[in-house]
């Protein structure tokens, strides 16, 4: 479906500068990919309150590619999230389904799942070949905006969402390439799907988040679990300002720490 860009005011991208040591065979699970296993083995998993809060404010407010609307408010879904995969690669669809299941198990108050019904979905994931990426971006955003995106961002994958007047996200679109290898697909899929849920602003100043164009993960790391669990705590509401979030954040962060510690078997 062609969408007018005014209804998709926020866009996140992952840049193409992802280098691998070698060709990785198709893997059923992210843990079977050496590039991901190595990152998990050396992942930092302990953070101070200040480090978590800083990353949350830098990603939950603002927008990497801002087209319209205010960016000084919390943006999130306020209800179930249903993801539909549109494409011909069943292996990539299966990987995407595992990603969605992983996110669902690690974000406590987020109701997210796959759906086979395009009409029931509020997140559309378009799976395309790399050579068709620019044409797909054009079909979503129009030729003028597509040229701007290509010249300024040179994306390898892309996500955007539209929100209502209460800053509740109503629909997200994610575009992923399927033929650049498993690591690139998983790295893009995690980042863009998570950003389509609200934390749309990339930052180069937080070295532990996948929402940093200089960081490639390929899995749902502990630091970003903190950010998404903060965002989807019921006490953090769509439309909140920075001062409003700060007022409730101490209690929310305490509960989020307990949850992330539990699902990752972290030490006290």
Could you tell me the pLDDT band of residue 158, with boundaries at 50, 70 and 90? confident
pLDDT at 6 over 50: no
Q: Is residue 19 part of a domain?
A: no
Q: Is residue 88 part of a domain?
A: yes
**Residue 155 to residues 17, 137, 150: CA-CA distances in angstroms?**
10, 10, 7
Q: Is residue 104 part of a domain?
A: yes
Residue-wise pLDDT for 132-150, tens only, equals 888 888 888 788 777 776 7
Say what percent of the chain tops pLDDT 70. Answer: 82
Q: Is residue 20 part of a domain?
A: no
User: Which residue range forms the structural domain that includes residue 34?
Assistant: 5-14+27-263
Token code pair at residue 12? 């996140």
CA distance 200 to 221: 17
Residue-wise pLDDT for 80-131, tens only, equals 999 999 999 999 999 999 999 999 999 999 999 999 999 999 999 999 998 9
Token code pair at residue 140? 């979503």
pLDDT of residue 151: 66
CA distance 25 to 42: 22
pLDDT of residue 63: 56
Going by their DSSP bridges, the two strands 169-177 and 123-128 should be labelled as parallel
CA distance 204 to 202: 7
* Average pLDDT, integer, range 147-154: 68
What phi and psi values does residue 163 have, to the nearest 5 degrees?
-130, 165
* Average pLDDT, integer, range 50-71: 74
Specify the CATH number for the domain of residue 153.
Answer: 3.40.390.10
**Residue 20 to residues 13, 156, 215: CA-CA distances in angstroms?**
19, 15, 13
CB 240 within 8 A of CB 73: yes
Rg, Å, the chain Cα set? 17
Residue-wise pLDDT for 192-247, tens only, equals 999 999 998 888 899 999 999 889 999 999 999 999 999 999 999 999 999 999 99
Token code pair at residue 262? 């539990």
Q: Is residue 82 part of a domain?
A: yes
pTM for this one? 0.85
* Tally of structural domains, the chain: 1
CB 100 within 8 A of CB 184: no
**Residue 18 to residues 92, 115, 157, 254, 256: CA-CA distances in angstroms?**
19, 30, 12, 35, 31
pLDDT of residue 19: 28
pLDDT of residue 67: 41
């Amino acid at each position: 479906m062609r969408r007018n860009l005014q209804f998709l005011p926020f866009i996140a991208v992952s840049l193409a500068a992802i280098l691998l040591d070698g060709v990785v065979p198709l893997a059923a699970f992210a843990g079977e990919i050496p590039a991901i296993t190595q990152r998990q083995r050396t992942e930092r998993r302990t953070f101070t309150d200040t480090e978590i809060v800083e990353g949350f404010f830098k990603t939950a407010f603002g927008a990497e590619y801002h087209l319209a609307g205010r960016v000084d408010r919390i943006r999130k879904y306020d209800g179930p999230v249903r993801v539909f995969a549109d494409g011909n690669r069943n292996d990539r669809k299966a990987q995407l389904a595992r990603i969605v299941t992983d996110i669902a198990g690690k974000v406590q108050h987020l109701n997210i799942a796959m759906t086979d019904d395009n009409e029931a979905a509020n997140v559309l994931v378009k799976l395309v070949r790399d050579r068709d990426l620019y044409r797909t971006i054009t079909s979503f955003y129009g030729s003028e905006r597509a040229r701007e995106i290509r010249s300024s961002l040179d994306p390898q994958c892309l996500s955007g969402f539209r929100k209502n007047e209460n800053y509740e996200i109503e629909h997200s679109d994610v575009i992923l390439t399927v033929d650049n290898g498993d690591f690139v697909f998983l790295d893009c899929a995690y980042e863009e799907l998570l950003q389509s849920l609200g934390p749309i602003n990339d930052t180069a100043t937080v070295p532990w988040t996948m929402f940093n164009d200089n960081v490639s993960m390929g899995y749902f790391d502990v630091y970003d679990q903190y950010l998404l669990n903060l965002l989807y705590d019921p006490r953090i509401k769509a439309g909140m300002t920075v001062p409003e979030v700060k007022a409730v954040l101490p209690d929310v962060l305490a509960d989020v720490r307990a949850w992330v510690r539990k699902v990752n078997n972290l030490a006290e």
